[in-house]
């Protein structure tokens, strides 16, 4: 056996992403480079690590066993590097954060200064749907999660970051006349929802139920970006977080339509398991957020006040 740490990292990414293309993107390598390293790694084993069925890559049972060993080896190597830096008086380690999809417009601003000040810290940030975020908390896979609605079945601690505001928006070229009328919606005005379990969808449904609004045509999409593009294209209107539509409001492809009891306001919360013992890196990040959040909000989110 003569495999390298580089090959182990590449194979771990391939297993995690279930794709050579996505692994190459995550590693900032070309696809051919990743394919060559996978072949060189495979050549050292008499049993297949992967197989391709119908142009789709699958990891074999043996491959998954090797991936688990690779993760342990890489974790030990990272641990050696972190301990070396710590002995030099440098904050070092890994910070893992899981973020709901809309939170990708928020979390980087609260991470940027911390990461620049602590070059020995490695960041792993997973942007996904709420169900996966909650699962990552339940299974203790992350230090923190960013959510706007707290899961009520977990014992959590939280640090409130900033407000999350949701408005009724539409492409003004398609729905302006209808949405400026006294009626909230008419039968032929489609309303675009996120998937079940999404905090944005829950906020929309609560609002519609409380206002006793009957929705005619419903469209369901599985990401905030998909909803935004559908609204821009004129497929319908939606109640969307302000945080994700700044540029579209500025260029006029979306417009906010004021209605009674809108906007909806929630809060972005950084949460973690109440029973979790935070690492030195996680503790330092939490202290940073508490000290700097007001300045971050004033510097990067002052445009909220225009709406």
What is the span of the domain harbouring residue 116?
Answer: 91-162+267-306
- Does 96 share its domain with 151? yes
- CA 267 – CA 269 distance, rounded (Å): 6
Structural domain contains residue 82 = no
How far, in Å, CA of 22 to CA of 42, rounded? Answer: 19
pLDDT in the model for residue 197:
84
Quickly state the pLDDT bin for 186 (edges 50, 70, 90): low
Cα separation of 274 and 280, whole Å?
16
Q: What is the per-residue pLDDT for 82?
A: 62
Predicted local distance difference test score (pLDDT) of residue 199: 86
Same domain flag for 258 and 291: no
Predicted local distance difference test score (pLDDT) of residue 210: 87
CATH of the domain at 137: 3.40.190.10
State how many domains the chain has: 3
If asked whether residues 96 and 120 sit together in one domain, one would say yes
Number of helices (H), then strands (E), in the chain: 11, 11
Q: Is 79 contained in some domain?
A: no
| Strand bridging mode 156-170 / 218-220 | unpaired
Q: pLDDT at residue 6 above 70?
A: yes
Question: 280 with 146, same domain?
Answer: yes
Lookup result for tokens 């030990």 = 76
Same domain, 179 and 243: yes
User: Does a structural domain hold residue 217?
Assistant: yes
The predicted structure's pLDDT at residue 183: 62
Residue 84 reports pLDDT greater than 60: yes
- Once rounded to an integer, what is the mean pLDDT over residues 213-229? 88
- Residues 201, 178 within the same domain: yes
- Of 70 and 144, the one with more pLDDT: 144
Tell me the mean pLDDT in the region 88-101. 84
| pLDDT on residue 290 | 95
Q: Is residue 85 part of a domain?
A: no
Burial 260-276 (b: 16+ CB within 10 A, else e): eebbbebebbbbbbeee
pLDDT, tens digit, 9 for 90 and up, residues 187-207: 667 899 998 888 899 888 998
- 261 and 170 share one domain: yes
Model confidence over 28-58: pLDDT tens digits? 889 999 999 999 999 999 999 999 888 889 9
pTM over 0.85: no
* pLDDT(280) > 90: no
Q: Quick one: 262 and 273 in the same domain?
A: no
pLDDT score of 29: 87
CA gap 239, 201 in Å, rounded: 9
**pLDDT attached to residue 189:** 79
The position carrying tokens 């959510």 is: 147
Predicted confidence at residue 266, as pLDDT, reads 92
Residues 171 and 234 in one domain: yes
Assess whether 210 and 258 both reside in one domain.
Answer: yes
Give the pLDDT confidence score for residue 72 in this predicted structure.
Answer: 85
Answer for the pair 64, 12: CB distance below 8 angstroms, yes or no.
no
Token code pair at residue 13: 């990414």
pLDDT beyond 60 at 184: no
**In b/e form, how buried is each residue of 67-97, taking b as 16+ CB within 10 angstroms?**
beebeeeeeeeeeeebeebeeeeebbbbbbb
Q: Answer whether residue 229 shows pLDDT above 90.
A: yes
| pLDDT (mean) for 163-185 | 80
Phi (first) and psi of residue 220, to 5 degrees: -120, 130
State the residue for tokens 């206002």: 211
Residue 286 pLDDT > 90: yes
Mean pLDDT of 12-18: 89
Higher pLDDT among residues 104 and 307, named by residue: 104
Examine the pLDDT at 2 and tell me if it is beyond 60.
yes
Q: Same structural domain for residues 175 and 155?
A: no
> Would you state the pLDDT for residue 185?
59
Q: What integer is the mean pLDDT of 87-93?
A: 72
The chain-wide mean pLDDT, for the chain, equals: 88
């Amino acid at each position: 056996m003569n495999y390298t740490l580089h090959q182990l990292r590449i194979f771990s990414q391939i297993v995690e992403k279930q794709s050579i293309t996505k692994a190459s993107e995550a590693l900032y390598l070309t696809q051919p480079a990743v394919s060559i390293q996978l072949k060189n790694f495979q050549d050292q084993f008499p049993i297949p690590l992967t197989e391709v069925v119908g142009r789709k890559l699958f990891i074999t049972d043996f491959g998954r066993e090797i991936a688990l060993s690779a993760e342990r080896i890489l974790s030990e190597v990272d641990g050696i590097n972190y301990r070396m830096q710590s002995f030099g008086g440098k904050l070092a380690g890994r910070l893992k954060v899981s973020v709901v999809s809309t939170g990708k417009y928020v979390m980087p601003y609260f991470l940027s200064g911390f990461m620049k000040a602590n070059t020995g810290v490695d960041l792993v940030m997973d942007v996904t749907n709420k169900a996966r975020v909650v699962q990552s908390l339940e299974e203790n896979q992350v230090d923190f999660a960013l959510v706007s609605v707290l899961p009520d079945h977990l014992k959590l601690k939280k640090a409130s970051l900033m407000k999350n505001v949701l408005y009724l928006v539409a492409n003004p070229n398609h729905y302006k006349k209808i949405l400026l009328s006294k009626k909230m919606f008419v039968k032929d005005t489609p309303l675009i929802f996120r998937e079940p379990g999404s905090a944005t969808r829950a906020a929309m449904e609560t609002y519609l139920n409380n206002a006793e609004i009957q929705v005619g045509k419903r469209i369901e999409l599985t990401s905030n970006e998909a909803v935004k593009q559908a609204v821009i294209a004129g497929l319908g209107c939606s109640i969307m977080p302000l945080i994700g539509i700044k540029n579209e409001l500025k260029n006029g492809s979306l417009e906010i339509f004021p209605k009674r009891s809108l906007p909806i306001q929630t809060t972005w919360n950084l949460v973690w398991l109440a029973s979790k013992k935070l690492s030195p890196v996680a503790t330092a990040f939490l202290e940073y957020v508490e000290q700097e959040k007001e300045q971050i909000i004033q510097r990067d989110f002052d445009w909220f006040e225009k709406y």
